[in-house]
Amino acid sequence: MHYVTFKIIETKGREFILYLHNHSQKLISEKCRSENLDEIVEVLKKEMKYRKHFMNALNNYIPVLNRIDYLKQKYPDGRNERFPDEWTDPLKLYGCYANELVNSKDKERQELIKLLDTHSPKWIWENRMRLVAERLFIRDF
């Protein structure tokens, strides 16, 4: 998680500068410079609104991250599985994680077929733990 703070300073030339300090990366960057303090404050408000939106999105994703942790614990060797080269059943692209979807295999196959319209089998394989965690979240919601 990035811990950031903002700072507004006034220069000797009556100019205001808004700085962003990213503490975790030890970076300070200039976000805005103006002679009009109201303009600086508006930029600051937009930055704060963006960060609040990002944090809300992250908080809403925590249940999915918890399910990823569950899958890692239940299937410790799951990430070491080999890609199923000769797959015919789309659920094979979820590897061992497909075991978690036993009650809705037909529905999951249909969802995977839709996903294969926009993503390659290799992409699905590489993202299978997250995809299954998201499906578990949707199922349990």
Instruction: Annotate the chain with DSSP letters as a single string.
Output: ---EEEEEEE-TTS-EEEEEEETTTTEEEEEEEES-HHHHHHHHHHHHHHHHHHHHHHHHHHHHHHHHHHHHHH-TTGGGPPP-TT--SGGGGGGGGGGGGGGGHHHHHHHHHHHHTTS-HHHHHHTHHHHHHHHHHHHH-
Structure confidence by residue, pLDDT tens digits, 80-100: 999 999 999 999 999 999 999
| pLDDT, position 39 | 93
Predicted confidence (pLDDT) at residue 2 exceeds the cutoff of 90: no
| pLDDT, position 66 | 93
Strand arrangement of the beta sheet that strand 4-10 belongs to: 4-10, 16-22, 27-34
| pLDDT, position 59 | 78
Structure confidence by residue, pLDDT tens digits, 116-137: 999 999 999 999 999 999 999 9
| pLDDT, position 95 | 96
